Amino acid sequence: MTLRSLGRRTGEWFLLALFLLLTGIPLVDFLGRPLAGFHIPGSATYTQQLTFFLAFIGGFVAALAGRHLTLSTANLLPEGRSRRVAEFLSCSTAACVTSVLTYASVAVVLAERMQGQKLSFGLPVWVSESVMPLGLGLITIVFIFRASSGTIGRACAAALAGAVFALGALTPTGSLVWALAVLLLLATLLGSPIFAAMSGLGLLLFWWESTPVSAVAAEIYRLVGSPTLPAIPLLTATGFILAETAAPQRLVNFFRAMLGFMPGGVAVLVAAVCAVFTALTGGSGVTIIALGGLVYPILLADGYPERFSLGLVTAAGSLGLLFPPCLAVILYSVVANVPADQLFLAGMLPGVLLLVLVAAYGIRVSIKIGIPRQSFNSGEFLSAAWTAKWELSIPVAMMLLFGTGRASLLETAAFACAYTIVIACFIHRDLHPVRDLPPAIMKATALVGAVLLLLSCAMGLTSYLVDAQIPDQLLRAVKERIESPLVFLLTLNVVLLVLGSILEIFSAIIVLTPLVIPLGTAFGVHPVHLGIIFLANLELGFLFPPVGLNLLLSSSRLGKPMASLYRDVVPFLLILGFGVLLITYIPALSVGFLQLIGRG
């Protein structure tokens, strides 16, 4: 075994240990509650600190793997010299930002050490905070190395990361800050991570106000304050573990046996299985990658036209984002401070509506071209249901635990992660617990780090925006131009559709939610209804040309040109757009059930 492979395996096992700890602590509390209220003292602090560690360790893993969240516009650049120049500029800019963040976080750690505060389990706070400068420093080094494949290029990137500190000797002016902000935006369009843009803009604005840049790093540490946040890495791990198993094939077999007798049964099964898998894994990207190559040939073999099949696979990847336990809903709940259980209850009917609309179009196409129906085979259905029972039981068990109040969201997520590991490693044995599980956790850690680092860096910028009363100014500007709530909602639909086609969904939630919430409140939109509108519009944005995320993923997975996919998704874009308008203008679809049960 080489030194590099040994280091990788050591890192994988270390991350697996962190995830197992994060899973085990809430489970002990959950299982111990019936036993005279047994719990681990300070368990909330343990899980919050583990999440904080995963944010920066995962951020480092994401940097190594090139998995930090970026704008889709970077994919439009052709291969060759232009792509290499863009990579140098984007990575060098990211290195400049993270080097300043490293310096700022060191200042925070030193200040915390002077205060001498300790966590509930006796560990000095400054020791825990030290993972922040360590992780950011390693990320800086990775970006310097990724800036170029040559020594000279890397030396130039390192020189730029060092030279940025010279700005501290200058007196900030409005024109200088705007010029640097434009450069930061340009680098972001070329592929620099969004977390670097968010934190870089925060650093610029605090510098302009003559506030120490350590204020940004201090805001980053607020990441540990949310009790719901640790559910994000657990649900992410659950999705990645499922994606590494044969669960997609078992789910396809189940839905085919159940729905194959209907007109358009195969099209309906594709929509249904994609919705379920997206809800379980948390994003359409994993669904298209895991299921695209599996269901696309099934559609063609059943006689569906190629254009319809491509459009359906691309569109179905985003179905299920409103269903429990989807990660996007959890993240919106954290950022918007709206209860996750209310969002899940409110999202069920709108989610079903979008799914039914797509399925109905599939049925119409099937009848029009005369695809023969299959007879229902009860034996085949029972056999497929029995084989897929464990995967199907995951969302059911989570809804029972969380929906009945028997477990908190964190405890439910811990149960789902542990339950999925048991299913994958010891029941189906799709994954070997020693050989296959640690690499799956490593993949999950990259996404966890990308999302949590973006969320933590957004806190610094959000803090400045609140202090500068930017949301209030935006609200006044909107109300001067728009008086009708209906016009506001239509404008919101258009803006979210366009931005949703550029931003990855986690980035969109973190960046846009703090700006949208005050506007929705001012126009009297129910906060839960606003959340469903927000998520449904982002779901639609995945299909919006020219750079919607599903278009990019489907083109890559199925080997089809992007331009051909544009026309293939138009019918689905129109159908889902109609559904989003219904969700937007009929609040009863989302909050009606909540009001019926007295929770709206």
Both structure tokens of 56: 């920066």
Distance CA(146)–CA(157), nearest Å, equals 9
Give residue 22's Cα distance to chain centre. Answer: 19
Residues 6+ apart with CB under 8 A from 3: none
Instruction: Please compute the mean of the pLDDT values over residues 269-285 and round it to a whole number.
Output: 79
Q: Smallest Cα–Cα separation from 242: which of 390, 381, 372, 112?
A: 390
Q: Is the dihedral of CA 128, 131, 134, 140 positive or negative?
A: negative
Q: For residue 424, give the amino acid letter.
A: A
Angle between helices 194-208 and 174-189 (to 10 degrees): 180
Residue found under tokens 């999302």:
451
Distance CA(280)–CA(358), nearest Å, equals 20
Distance CA(59)–CA(467), nearest Å, equals 28
161-188 in b/e burial notation, b at 16+ Cβ within 10 A?
A: beebeeeeeeebeeeebeebbeebeebb
| pLDDT over threshold 90, residue 472 | no
Both structure tokens of 232: 């994000």
259 band by pLDDT with thresholds 50, 70 and 90: confident
Distance CA(594)–CA(346), nearest Å, equals 7
Both structure tokens of 175: 């024109």
Q: Return the higher-pLDDT residue of 136 and 40.
A: 136
The conformational region for residue 304 under phi > 0 = left, psi -120 to 50 = alpha, else beta, is: beta
Q: Smallest Cα–Cα separation from 189: which of 66, 59, 93?
A: 93
User: What does DSSP assign to residue 224?
Assistant: G
Are the C-beta atoms of 280 and 242 separated by less than 8 Å? yes
Both structure tokens of 281: 């894994």
| pLDDT over threshold 70, residue 420 | yes
Q: Return the higher-pLDDT residue of 419 and 251.
A: 419
**Per-residue model confidence (pLDDT) at position 286:** 66
Instruction: Please compute the mean of the pLDDT values over residues 502-525 and round it to a whole number.
Output: 82
Distance CA(508)–CA(108), nearest Å, equals 28
Most trustworthy range by pLDDT among 7-11, 32-36, 126-130, 479-483: 126-130
Q: Is the dihedral of CA 262, 264, 270, 275 positive or negative?
A: negative
Both structure tokens of 509: 């939630």
Distance CA(490)–CA(481), nearest Å, equals 14
> Over 153-209, what HEC string results?
HHHHHHHHHHHHHHHHHCCCCHHHHHHHHHHHHHHHHCCCCHHHHHHHHHHHHHHHC
| pLDDT over threshold 70, residue 73 | no
The conformational region for residue 377 under phi > 0 = left, psi -120 to 50 = alpha, else beta, is: beta
Q: For residue 115, give the amino acid letter.
A: Q
Q: Return the higher-pLDDT residue of 465 and 25.
A: 25
Q: Which residues pair with 124 in a beta bridge?
A: 118
Q: How many CB atoms are located within 10 Å of the residue 376 CB?
A: 14
Q: For residue 30, give the amino acid letter.
A: F
Burial classification of residue 34, based on how many CB atoms lie within 10 Å of its CB (0-12 exposed, 13-18 middle, 19 or more buried): exposed
Instruction: Please compute the mean of the pLDDT values over residues 463-488 and round it to a whole number.
Output: 77
**Per-residue model confidence (pLDDT) at position 108:** 87
The conformational region for residue 210 under phi > 0 = left, psi -120 to 50 = alpha, else beta, is: left
Both structure tokens of 52: 């904080």
Instruction: Please compute the mean of the pLDDT values over residues 509-515 and round it to a whole number.
Output: 82
Both structure tokens of 494: 């258009």
Both structure tokens of 512: 């846009």
Are the C-beta atoms of 286 and 239 separated by less than 8 Å? yes
pLDDT tens for 160-219 read: 999 998 887 777 888 888 999 999 989 988 889 888 988 898 888 888 888 887 777 777
**Per-residue model confidence (pLDDT) at position 211:** 81
The size of the chain, in residues, is 600
4 band by pLDDT with thresholds 50, 70 and 90: low
**Per-residue model confidence (pLDDT) at position 361:** 93
| pLDDT over threshold 60, residue 330 | yes
Q: Report how far apart, in Å, the C-alpha atoms of 287 and of each of 87, 247, 429 are.
A: 28, 11, 21
| pLDDT over threshold 90, residue 99 | yes
Q: For residue 502, give the amino acid letter.
A: I
**Per-residue model confidence (pLDDT) at position 284:** 58
Percentage of the chain lying above the pLDDT 70 cut: 94
Q: Smallest Cα–Cα separation from 111: which of 223, 196, 212, 224?
A: 212
Distance CA(261)–CA(537), nearest Å, equals 33
Q: Smallest Cα–Cα separation from 231: which of 341, 319, 388, 318?
A: 341
Burial classification of residue 324, based on how many CB atoms lie within 10 Å of its CB (0-12 exposed, 13-18 middle, 19 or more buried): buried
Are the C-beta atoms of 280 and 238 separated by less than 8 Å? yes
Q: Which residues pair with 118 in a beta bridge?
A: 124
Distance CA(315)–CA(308), nearest Å, equals 10
**Helix and strand numbers, DSSP H then E, in the chain:** 27, 0
